[in-house]
Structure 1
Amino acid sequence: MRVLLTGSTGFIGRAVAQALRQRGHTVVPAMRRPSPGRVDFVQADFASVPSRDWWLPRLEGIDAVVNAVGILREQRGQTFEALHHRAPAELFHACDAAAVRSVVQVSALGADEHGRTGYQRSKKAADDVLRSLPLRAAIVQPSLVYGPGGDSAALFNKLAVAPLLPFPMGGRMPVQPVHLDDVVQGVVRLVESPPEEVATYVFAGPRPLALAGYLRELRLAMGENPRQWVIPIPAFLFRAGATLAGVLPGSMLDRDTADMLLAGNATQRNGLPALLGRAPRAPADFIAGPVRESARREATLDLWLPVLRLALAFLWIWTAIVSFGLYPVRDSYALLARVGLHGTPATLALYGAALLDLVLGLLTLAAPARWRRGVWLAQLALVAGYTVLITLFLPEYWLHPYGPIAKNLPILALIALLWSLEPPAREGRH
């Protein structure tokens, strides 16, 4: 079969494409920006809402269509209304006109009359359009999907390794996570054996769990101690925190995702076991033994690196504030005199260094990704320079019981870690 696949570069779409090819099908991806050298594709941008007439000639020779386009948050040029509703609706009408053999729409659990968020309502709007057409089609509504490379998996792994979590209702919200492999297998089966008329299939894990219980399963799967402190907090505080997180680029948490999490994500009409002929994979088996330790380390880094950056930024900014006058200026000049600086040079050194510390602290918090390696290198050079100068001119500080200079060594190691984890600049960009 020739299968047109939209959302082919997304989390679920990539896995569906691989599975279809392994089954011997030809996948024709619909892509905004196709990779160089690719010949069998359709260049389509859902944000511009291609019309059904535009799709018709591009559906010639297509046996099945899988729509896996989805965004969790709106951003510039990408709206729920366009990507989730209007563009898929035009594609589904074109499938009807072109007599496509089967259609699979990847929707979401909660995309029903009770859906409260723009994400859920827009998915339901497209589902309803498909239900109105005389097609052999399936609407797949997955619960939380866990799989390698998924943003959701990364988020829940990170939450799982946290020693303490503030959650509304003490983390008792029901969830029913499903593994990516089971979702993909179900989609492929529906492509190959579509229902006689449009049908909805909920894809979920074997049983509902409290969110705290799900995280405990992931902790065990990563080899962590299952004990995790969950502190109940009011729902309004959780929503307020999610609203603030929504301002951060790349954050999965915002007001809408918080509302979906608070509403729960479980079902009593799981269609996956009957479709697969077996029980879906349980969360305890989501992380295979060979990758257990690497998953734990990656989650731990994801959790603590932002904390380390905040601590480092505080160190630079507090040092600047202290140098600007909280520490007696007279004593600062006395130290600079021992380095050989007096008068105007000493003043320039004192306030210039304080200003540099302040700038480095602010850049630690807010430097664009392309600047970060340079920021870390500047910090390494400055801390190393301070350490050398103090060693030469004020060596007794190495013997201070509070270790003000010895502490530079772990700080240098921390900055080196941050530098090494930044992706290197790509060469040969055009």
Structure 2
Amino acid sequence: IHQTEWTSRTSQLEEVPVLGGGTGFIGTALTQLLKARGHEVTLISRKPAPGRITWDELATSGLPRCDAAINLAGENILNPLRRWNEAFQKEVLSSRLETTHLLARAITKAPHPPQAWVLVTGVAYYQPSPTAEYDEDSPGGDFDFFSNLVTKWEAAARLPGDSTRQVVVRSGVVLGRGGGAIGHMLLPFRLGLGGPIGSGHQFFPWIHIRDLVGILAHAVEASHVQGVLNGVAPASTTTNAEFAQALGAALGRPAFIPLPSTVVQAVFGRERAIMLLEGQKVVPRRTLASGYQYSFPELGAALKEVVA
């Protein structure tokens, strides 16, 4: 998802923007939801276009007056067409850290800073485990490339002082029509060739696109929300094999053909393959406590909506 941002306007707040990754899968869904709720959305992108500002304009002219800034950053880590080499790793890092630093600096320098600053990272912060359960207060962030990436990313977003509410949403695998992880899975499953990845015993933290953007809108609009929220569905005990079975059931197809771990490692590289072959049991304790109500708490209903 290319990083971008937004501007928001509500009847109770002054005229201003929310900034976010509006051209990608999540950004497009979030833009639609925010506009439906009466917000005005301005995107930050590389190229100028109506209703957008560029990153260069942000760096030189500062942040336009806004209620909230949302950061959806970064090169797609699991792009199977990109080899997992040093150049791609640098791209993955810079596409998240540089834009996050730039936005955080712009917020800090703004004469009228936004009321909320929301960053989307990932559950890769938590160490894969077949037994451990992680909530928002669990330790992590220091055991491999991806956990270190999330730690650096969240540190880059940190603002001094407390004039702006800061929220980090650590997202699981996002399920939705027309994009996200499921886009790569549907064809083999429709052909009856789908199945678990590797052993299938690894946990598979997931969230429906409607709930991820719902949590982001909730973070912007609810003044009591701050700190880390896990962007995963409450049915977090799903394993990869259970996910494969549920997707097969939603499509009316068998889903018993496993994808061997050796193939996954060959396609993605050993380090990157860990994201698919190992998983974390992640619970959205603070997300639920904040008052967010899920549209798709259960996997079966979420997948039926996605493949309908």
The reply to whether residue 61 of structure 1 matches residue 65 of structure 2 is yes
CA contact (8 A) 1:172 1:210 kept: yes
TM-score by length of 2: 0.75
| Superposed CA offset, 1:218-268 (max 9, x none) | 1111223xx4325595xxxx2x4334324xxxxxxx444421122304313
Kindly provide the CA deviation profile for residues 187-206 of structure 1, in whole angstroms up to 9, marking residues without a partner as x: 0111112447x500001112
Alignment deviations for residues 305-362 of structure 1 (CA, whole Å, 9 cap, x no partner): xxxxxxxxxxxxxxxxxxxxxxxxxxxxxxxxxxxxxxxxxxxxxxxxxxxxxxxxxx
Q: In the superposition, relative to structure 1, how do residues 194 and 119 fare at CA in structure 2: closer, same or farther (>3 Å)?
A: farther
The 1:217–1:265 alpha-carbon spacing in structure 2 relative to 1, beyond 3 Å, is: same
Root mean square deviation, CA, Å:
3.0
SS in 2 for 1:79: helix
Seen in structure 2, the aligned counterparts of structure 1 residues 288 and 138 have a Cα distance that, compared at 3 Å, is same
Contact 1:140 1:203 in 2 (8 A): yes
Using the alignment, how far apart are the partners of 2:283 and 2:303 within structure 1? 25
Pick the structure with more helix per residue: 1
Q: Any conservation in 2 of the 1:93–1:133 contact (CA below 8 Å)? A: no
Task: Give distance in 1, aligned partners of 2:305 and 2:124.
Answer: 32
Q: How does 1:148-227 map to 2 (within 5 A)?
A: 148-158=177-187, 160-161=189-190, 162-163=192-193, 165=195, 167-169=197-199, 171-195=200-224, 198-207=226-235, 208-224=237-253, 227=254
Deviation at 1:144, TM superposition (A): 0.8
Say which SS state the counterpart of residue 281 (structure 1) adopts.
Answer: coil
8 Å contact from structure 2 (residues 116, 220) kept in 1:
yes
Q: In 2 relative to 1, CA 120–9 (structure 1 residues): closer, same or farther, beyond 3 Å? A: farther
Letter in 1 for 2:281: A
Q: Normalising by the residue count of structure 1, what TM-score does the alignment of the two structures yield?
A: 0.55
Distance 1:260 1:27 in 2: 33
Q: 1:166 to 1:173 in 2, by over 3 A?
A: closer
Q: Which has the higher contact order (CA 8 A, sep 6+)?
A: 2
Identity of aligned residues (%): 20
- The answer as to whether partners of 1:4 and 1:30 remain within 8 angstroms in 2 is no
Q: Please list, as runs of the form range in 1=range in 2, the aligned pairs for 1:12-411 lying within 5 A after superposition.
A: 12-35=26-49, 38=50, 40-44=51-55, 54-55=58-59, 57-73=61-77, 79-98=91-110, 99-111=113-125, 113-114=140-141, 116-131=143-158, 133-134=160-161, 135-158=164-187, 160-161=189-190, 162-163=192-193, 165=195, 167-169=197-199, 171-195=200-224, 198-207=226-235, 208-224=237-253, 227-231=254-258, 238=261, 240-246=262-268, 254-274=269-289, 275-278=291-294, 280-288=296-304, 292=308
| Long gaps (5+) in structure 2 | 1-8, 10-15, 127-139
Q: 1:164 offset after TM fit, Å? A: 5.8
SS in 1 for 2:229: strand
| Residue type of the alignment partner of 2:264 | A
Q: Which of the pair has more CA radius of gyration?
A: 1
Distance 1:13 1:191 in 2: 14
Query: What residue is the counterpart of 2:3 in the other structure?
Result: none
* Count, aligned residues: 266
